[in-house]
A and B are shown apart, each in its own frame.
Chain A
């Protein structure tokens, strides 16, 4: 019998008090308990980045993060990115620049880009390429994603 841990976590601006088992994984908590299925699990071992969410603004792989580890933090998933029904500029840029195909990597990719643009408001090509190294996209060949990142940076700066 695994022990339970009481946690308080803010997910997408809503605060939850939860009792989670000690071996509960953040990705399962988000997907199964909070129904935030935009968090996708690809490799399930922190390689592909599909499950990327933001914990206090920094990207983590939810598939290898224990739920108790986010106690006292603010978690942002793809569902929490748009505000008041309006797409976030990064989402809009991905939409307008064809920055997705099958879409399975897209939520994690967009959240990685959000963290990138918070650290580097106007990233150069190399910075974008290196930063996106944490997220595998098997469909697009990355180029159109990179164009979306640049467009998002311009939109957010303007």
Chain B
């Protein structure tokens, strides 16, 4: 690991390489892809939360002029493997026997235009036999509850290390279960001076990426070609190959700029349906969902988190037992992974004598839940950091002091067998305390019917994925212009600029000479997808190595031309220096190769080592802390909470692109602020109550706290030039910091987000 202090080659601010396209409207997204003969698809969705599909009559739709294909579960059932999902594959390409939530895809039409496709949907007659739904975790777990699935799903539980339990479908309506223990938590709790049990509820939110889910599929002979907004081109390639029984080298995925994702565009979803439509229609097909439909495609996991935490009378944490129920919705999606990560992260950044965690995903007849920026870390941080604050107040210890007394120090492993913490957690908290004016606060300071208070929080998650890997290449043209080939998609996080800057620095080239290449699985080296804040570190290491490999080739070529050894030479601005002599490379290359010249192609890869002793089978590559301080004003009469001042900090290791780092932290924190105060996909029974863009409220500029500050610390990391990932950090600590500030202001504890006026009033009522 490199130290984050000292000189950085990346201090000067950089203009984003994708910026000129994005501010002029020239940027092309999958949304903008068009092909000759393109058809447009629309999807018929179930109006029922749970229903058997008895029959579907598509004859009138098929007879409508302009309709080229109608696809239903009958078509999907004929596919070699019509199910998808991460580890556990239970979601059909389109509903085969049952519809399992309001919005489940039941039929799809490809037609000359969207208007005709909509008209055709209206002509499809589905005969449903309604079944009793289970729409909450409690309903799904009740004795004799209706079952979403009659038979086990395909797939395997997530493979984990020794001492960790990972089960697939262990009980009715339970998708998967994770259990982790370290030490004897029952024994330690029995010997603790205090044991506190608290229960937290987390809400369901949507990603609300502005570019809808959009895919264009084209079939040419044996080749399946897909232009997709998906964050994971290579994961998608594998899924499409498996589902359609094609060799993966006959599946080609193109990625363009992605118009926001936040996890909503990760892993396989409606992409195979678009391929199936294109196959049946014999023409290329575009399916662009509406935002209403995206709201019915994926959510973040709602959940119930019950924590039992032991502490000595002088305020030392001893043990924590947790039971975490996540609402996985109707289908697996990424729940199996999210359960593992939520359960593992529930202990927060503290030292424990013993830990026992059980986490599981429950199937309900609601929108499937899956990846969302923070990936379980947000749920875990909300519960954990709320409870830490509650315990501090119960023991009459300042929450700042209580945290500092128990925080993991640099180098101490998160859990036995895992990597050591790589950020100075106290220093980040001190920065928050300083900026917030925490030491000068007057607790519960009241003016009339309003009261102010301050709250702190430290969220944390492992970053970079588990045992992740990536490959990259760097092509150097005769002119010294370079193309970086890597499959981290540009989703707004700044991968284009960051990875190009890493290559430029390694090759000592001007940044504007480097271009981030188009992503095409036929030509771009593989990676595991744009996930887990891994782009800068994991893909970044692969790019660094590819650039270094290209540099080595250039120097060896020049050494041969100059009759010396490569170690006598240095590369600078596409000139080879040997002592005091400078030799421009372009004429050397042109003269030697002639013709179109030559490309030096450097290759790099990285595999984070597997480690059987690590609980999750590989030690965390780095740790992503999120330090938050919030000052709120609570209106005791209306229950309205106003965030007066929000301070959010994160650790970039060492920033490659400081502007992008700041943008990531502030953007994530505002998403978390929305979820804390008002944002939620609500259900009334089996019906989504607000699944339209107008009713589903996300933060606008007017929702900003009066003062909104972010800061980035640089404590070093395992990535290029000491970098580490930062993309999810800002999500983690915000909800708990606000809950803690509300408690500070009015002495009432909110244990369920969002902190709506009704809930705040009820909590004030209950506390007085």
Contact = CB atoms under 8 A, between A and B. Distances in A.
Interface of A: 36-45, 47-48, 50, 77-79, 81-82, 87, 91-92, 94-96, 98, 100-107, 110, 128-130, 132-133, 135-146
A105 B26 CA distance: 13
A24 to B, nearest CB: 11
A132 B209 CA distance: 18
A39 B27 CA distance: 11
A78 B24 contact: yes
A141 B390 CA distance: 29
Given A45-B693, A48-B291, A103-B22, A144 B663 contact: yes
A143 B212 CA distance: 24
Given A102-B210, A133-B700, A140-B666, A44 B492 contact: no
B291 A141 contact: no
A36 B623 CA distance: 44
A95 B19 contact: yes
Interface in B694-717: 694, 698-702, 704, 708, 710
A106 B22 contact: yes
15 contacts: A36-B25, A38-B24, A41-B31, A43-B210, A48-B291, A79-B24, A87-B20, A94-B19, A95-B15, A100-B19, A102-B257, A102-B260, A102-B492, A103-B259, A104-B31
B467 interface: no
A141 B373 CA distance: 15
Contacts of B28: 37
A144 B24 contact: no
A130 B702 contact: yes
B560 interface: no
Given A38-B25, A45-B694, A139 B291 contact: no
A98 B662 contact: yes
A73 B761 CA distance: 51
A58 B663 CA distance: 29
B369 interface: no
Interface in B670-728: 670-671, 692-694, 698-702, 704, 708, 710
B470 interface: no
B186 interface: no
A105 B210 contact: yes
Contact of B290 (A44, A106, A130): A44
Contacts of B262: 138
Nearest to B657: A98
A141 B669 contact: yes
Contacts of A146: 701
A129 B25 contact: no
A138 B208 contact: yes
A40 B16 contact: no
Interface in B5-23: 15-16, 18-23
Given A50-B210, A103-B22, A133-B702, A138 B260 contact: yes
Interface string B19-63: 111111111110110000000000000000000000000000000
B458 interface: no
Contacts, number: 164
A106 B701 contact: no
Contacts of B20: 87, 95
A142 to B, nearest CB: 4
Given A43-B693, A48-B291, A103-B27, A98 B663 contact: yes
A101 B25 contact: no
B23 A102 contact: no
A46 to B, nearest CB: 9
Interface of B: 15-16, 18-29, 31-32, 207-212, 257-262, 290-291, 491-494, 659-660, 662-663, 666-671, 692-694, 698-702, 704, 708, 710
Contact of A139 (B32, B260, B701): B260
Contacts of A133: 700-702
Contact of B663 (A91, A107, A140): A140
Contact of B26 (A38, A96, A132, A136): A38
Given A37-B28, A48-B693, A138-B260, A95 B23 contact: yes
A130 to B, nearest CB: 6
Nearest to A91: B23
A26 to B, nearest CB: 15
Contacts of B702: 129-130, 132-133
B701 A104 contact: no
A87 B15 CA distance: 14
Contact of A102 (B211, B659, B671): B211
Given A98-B659, A104-B260, A143 B666 contact: yes
A106 to B, nearest CB: 5
A39 B663 CA distance: 24
Contacts of A36: 25
B257 A103 contact: yes
Given A37-B25, A77-B25, A104-B259, A138 B291 contact: no
A138 B698 contact: yes
Nearest to A108: B210
A38 B19 CA distance: 14
A78 B669 CA distance: 29
A100 to B, nearest CB: 5
Nearest to A149: B701
A36 to B, nearest CB: 7
A140 B665 CA distance: 9
Nearest to B21: A103
A128 B290 CA distance: 29
Contacts of A143: 666, 704, 708, 710
Contacts of B208: 136, 138
A128 to B, nearest CB: 7
Contact of B22 (A100, A135, A144): A100
A106 B660 contact: no
